Each structure stands twice: as C-alpha cells, then as structure tokens.
C-alpha cells in the first residue's frame, strides 16, 4: 500500500514524529512525507496524492489539519479519493480521542494508519465547507477563536474552559431563527452545536449519542438563561438524553440558521462568522481508518 503523510509543518521537527516515521519505514511500509509551509499546501498535497494514485493519506496535525484534508478530498470524485487516516498532533485532538485513535503515541497512531481498516463515514456540509467533527456557534466558537496559541499549548484543553469562564461574565446571546424538520423556531442562543462527532473545545462532550455513520446530526442549543437557573442548566447539559427548558437536542439531517447579526462559528477548529448557514448530512462520503470497535460507529 502506498501511504503519504501530510504533516503540519509546525509538528515536523518533533522527535517522536520523526522516530515513528522511521520505524514504520523500517517495518517495510512505503511512507512518503509532505510537510506544509503555507496556506493551501494540504489541498495541493491531496491533489498530488490523487494524481499519484496513493492508496491512503494520513493527516498529521490537529483537528484543523484533518478538516483541511477532508475539504481537499471532497474536491475530487468519490471514486478517486484516497482513504484517510489520522496522526493526532493537536492540542485537543477531540475527534481522534472520541474515535479512540491513539493520541499519546505517534508510532501507535501511524501503525493504525498503515494497518487499520477503513470505514465509510458521514460529513456535514456547512454552506460550501465540510465538517468532520462538530460545528460550534456562539459562545463556544468565540472561546476557541480567541484562545491564544501559547495558552492552548500551556494548558491544553483546559485553556478553552479558562477563557470561557472569563468571557461568560459579559457574554450576550445571539438572536436568530433555526429551521429543521419543517419547523421554524425563533431562538436566543448562547451556544449551538451541530454534531457529527461527540466532543469539541478540548474534551467537552456536546453529544454523547452521535455516530459518524448514521446519516444524522445532533443539533444542540443552549438558550439564554437567568443566573438563578444555573443548576438547571448544568443538569440539562449533563444529561445526553435531556431536552429541557434551556438545553434543546434534536436528531436532524438538515438545519438552517439565519440572524441579523453575524454569529461566530467554528468548523472543526476553523473560525468563521455568518448570518446565514445551511447544514446538511453527506452520508458515507469518505473512507476513514478507525480502530476496531470504534465507539463512534453504529453497528
């Protein structure tokens, strides 16, 4: 099998990554490495892999690098797309963690990437972009977008929580309309999430029941609430089966958000700001290498 590692340039000098690549080659694997330098490199490398008929590409980096690889793959016909594997090297690695892809050993992740079986999985299309894991909106997206990189590296996933606590003191909700299942609902939203995966923001579980091959998205929305209702909100957020006074959960295949003011959103770690966005499930679009008994697959 012809493998190609598309490696985030910021991670290329890490000794554990270099050692893992050399060990995999010593085991007889044909592993080529391409290292990013500037924006657009991942798309170019994916195009080269398609042209060279690589069997499988490995996205080496954080959730943003994986998202770039997914979006690049979707620019090519389905029958020409290489299989995708993940070498998790980010701060949070939310998607890989939920899928139980090894995150502590680069060698273990590369061995899985080379030897593991691929499974067809869903994506979320968000206007003209694609999401593998979760699209967050409102407060959650602001936290991710404004957490300084140095703080991310120092605190890991805890940086999101710390930044969130600071911002929550004066955060104001976003008003808009969400449409799904022939319903149109006016909402005042603090946090919204469209979940293909289960966690984001450094380990925060947003959807305990999501699967990446069930043709569904879980829509989760935390509405504005008074300070006196904080215990109710905590209880509703803690219960994955709950759809209560302030936390609403819906299994959908499509959803549409509209608002007068631009709402910050985060697509697998990539920040955007929109007033109008349409989400739709794209069933079984890419072949992803996953461990046996991956909890994110519905059997």
User: Which residues are catalytic, by number?
Assistant: 270
Token reading at 236: 């509703």
Instruction: Of 5, 7, 32, 20, give the one whose Cα is nearest residue 108.
Output: 20
Q: Strand 2-7 and strand 56-61: pairing? A: parallel
Q: What is the spatial distance between Cα 20 and Cα 55, in angstroms, rounded to a whole number? A: 20
**In sequence order, what are the beta bridge partners of 266?**
136, 271
Quickly list H helices, 117-192.
139-146, 149-155, 158-168
Is 51:34 a contact under the CB 8 Å cutoff? no
Token reading at 171: 């955060």
Read off the DSSP letter of residue 9.
G
Q: Strand 83-88 and strand 199-200: pairing? A: unpaired
Q: What is the spatial distance between Cα 251 and Cα 61, in angstroms, rounded to a whole number? A: 30
- Residues in the chain, how many? 299
Instruction: Of 250, 271, 284, 287, give the one whose Cα is nearest residue 123.
Output: 284
CA 286 to chain centre: 14
Q: Is 276 left (phi over 0), alpha (psi -120 to 50) or beta?
A: beta
């Amino acid at each position: 099998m012809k493998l190609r590692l598309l490696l985030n340039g910021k991670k290329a000098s890490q000794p554990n990554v270099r050692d893992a690549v050399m060990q995999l080659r010593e085991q007889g694997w044909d592993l080529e490495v391409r290292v990013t330098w500037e924006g657009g490199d991942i798309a170019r490398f994916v195009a080269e892999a398609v042209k060279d008929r690589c069997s499988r590409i490995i996205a080496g980096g954080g959730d943003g690098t994986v998202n770039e690889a997914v979006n690049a793959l979707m620019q090519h016909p389905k029958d020409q797309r290489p299989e995708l594997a993940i070498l998790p090297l980010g701060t949070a690695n939310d998607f890989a963690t939920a899928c139980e892809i090894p995150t502590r050993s680069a060698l273990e992740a590369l061995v899985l990437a080379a030897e593991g079986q691929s499974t067809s999985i869903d994506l979320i299309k968000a206007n003209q972009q694609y999401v593998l894991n979760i699209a967050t909106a409102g407060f959650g997206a602001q936290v991710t977008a404004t957490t300084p990189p140095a703080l991310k590296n120092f605190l890991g996933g805890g940086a999101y929580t710390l930044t969130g606590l600071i911002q929550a003191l004066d955060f104001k909700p976003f008003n808009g309309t969400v449409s799904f299942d022939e319903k149109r609902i006016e909402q005042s939203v603090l946090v919204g999430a469209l979940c293909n995966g289960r966690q984001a923001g450094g380990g925060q579980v947003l959807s305990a029941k999501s699967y990446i091959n069930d043709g569904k998205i879980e829509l989760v929305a935390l509405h504005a609430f008074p300070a006196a209702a904080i215990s109710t909100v905590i209880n509703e957020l803690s219960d994955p089966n709950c759809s209560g006074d302030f936390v609403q959960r819906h299994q959908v295949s499509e959803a549409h958000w509209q608002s007068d003011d631009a709402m910050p959103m985060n697509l697998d770690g990539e920040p955007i700001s929109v007033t109008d966005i349409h989400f739709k499930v794209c069933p079984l679009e890419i072949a992803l290498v996953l461990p046996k008994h991956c909890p994110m697959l519905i059997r």
